[in-house]
Structure 1
Amino acid sequence: MNRAVLAPLLKLTAFAAVTVLLTAMLAQTLGGFSSGGTVYRARFTDVTGLLAGDDVRISGVQVGKVRDIRVVDNTVAEVAFTVAGDIPLTTTVHAKIRYRNLVGQRYIALSEGPGDVRPLRPDGLIPQSQTTPALDLTVLFNGFRPLFTALAPEAVNQLAYEIIQVLQGEGGTVASLLRRTASLTNTLADRDAVIGRVVTNLNAVLSTLADRSGELDETIQQLQRFVSGLAADRVAIGEALVNLGDLTGATASLLADARPSLAADVDALGTLSTTLNDNAAVIDRTLAGLPDRYGSLTRVASYGSWFNFFLCDFDGTVGVAGHGELNPASFSSPAARCSTAGGRA
């Protein structure tokens, strides 16, 4: 084989071998494969969701895998699982099925119990009295349904996971939960007087409403008729609102067109008011003399819808060149209306 082809081929083969080896080591480290171990058995009343290949853990560390699940005595599930050979189990070991996540994956958690510590032989059986099945999440979450409806999906997932951890003993204790519940009940007990007054006041309100049930029914009926009338006239109301909008637009346009003229009129009114203020004395004298003048005009127009003048006196001068001013004629009527009492015009 050509040396130029053989060298790259050897490099590729070496690279592939190292890659496969490292991948296998990584998979073994992550627990993806099981290298065997000691087989044990445990019996549970319910193993719903547990599958072959699921983890077996001690204190949260993976130590084995579920190997097989079968039904015995028609009522009990027997689970065969492996545990690493260097981790011995005792006859007091307790096996619990716990939720791995909210998707539904489960695992078996092993913990040592009190009592006479003796090694559990290979293929030994953990009795049903020392096993605990998984929580029934359906029943649990149905109880929290009113709370979940008010939470965002992310908050629901977080709360549900924390509830599972608390009830499984991983993230808190039931005692802590009970202490918080006791604190809440004590707080309510301390507020019993306030709660009693609230209940009493609410009872008074309900009694008042019961006494006025007739008026309340009539009010509700009138409100229903009013709403029904509005619904029946919704077309006319809609057209009226449209017309009102058109009127508002037209009025705005009118004001926009008349605004320059109004501004000029306002300025002219300012000039007029200034002029009237400067001639206030003249206006006062004129207004004071108007009654007498109107009295004289009334006497002149007393014979009809015209002005009737009567000549009482006549006198005049004429300027003539070379002779000065001449008084060619003078006249004075002796009529009674021309007397001083009647007034001359």
Structure 2
Amino acid sequence: MRGIAAPLVKLGLFMVLTVAATGVLAVSVANVDLSATNTYTARFSDATLLLPGDDVRIAGVRVGQVEEVSVADRKHAQVRFSVAADRALPASVTAQIKFRNLVGQRYVALGQGAGYDPNAVLEPGGTIPLERTRPALDLTELFNGFKPLFQALSPDDVNKLSYEIIQVLQGEGGTVETLLAHTASLTTTLADKDAVIGEVIGNLNGVLSTVNARGEQLSQLVVRLQRLVSGLAEDRAPIGDAVDALGGLATTTSGLLEEAREPLKQDIAALGGLTDTLNDHEELVEHFIQFLPEKTTALTRTVGYGSWFNFYLCEATGEVGIPGLITTPVEIPLLPASQERCRA
């Protein structure tokens, strides 16, 4: 009996270890989470190829799995999924079905959504409404866009192109996701700017219409501009000579100013002295200006007989002094002013 017991014990241990390892492998292959979970549901307009056991992720980290996919209200897809109990979902949570790879596997990505409030959570058993969910991209429509290209290629070229696309995109689910997100952002931005783009196109149409309405004038403008350019090209030698002459004129003017700088400086200084002198004898200058018309009139009458002046001696006086006897000169009238014209 002892000889039989030892093999039986070994066989029992082997069977237990085999069953345990098989169970662990089965749990790993089935992607079963044995930890405590909370169950939620989400409504989608399309849940094609989403299967029970597919991942549920937050920021790319697996936090649960899809439990069931069913039809709700005969037109929507209802997805029941579980999330680890230690992961509380915000009340504004959003759900989107994304491609895990190009083979067709998909997963549910959860996000915070707009109006996130850390204090507001979605209770276990709650439902994410349709307006906060998004289905996966329809790859059929995407690859249908290649139909015109495939029709123009031979079967060998089509196979080669398909192989190259698969090689490039193989395992690049994140890259494809980023590309699609950026494309969606671009289309959203263009949609938001639809009014501005329409206004720009409308203004451009107005400009083109105006230009088209004045096509003849525009043609004449181009012809005249061409003639102007051709004339300038033909007269480039005289224009060059004129530029050289202007350069010589500028040099000569510079030399003239350099030579005249000192005399001009002296003239300005003398002009300042003259101004000071006139200002000091203001009364005399005013008297001269006041009686200048009368004097000019008298002088004009004097030269009325020809290009000479007639002078009349009306009165003459002299001074006589004798050295040693008369120290103060004595004034002696030599010719008194007896003529009528002198008295006038």
What's the TM-score, normalizing by structure 2? Answer: 0.45
What's the TM-score, normalizing by structure 1? Answer: 0.45
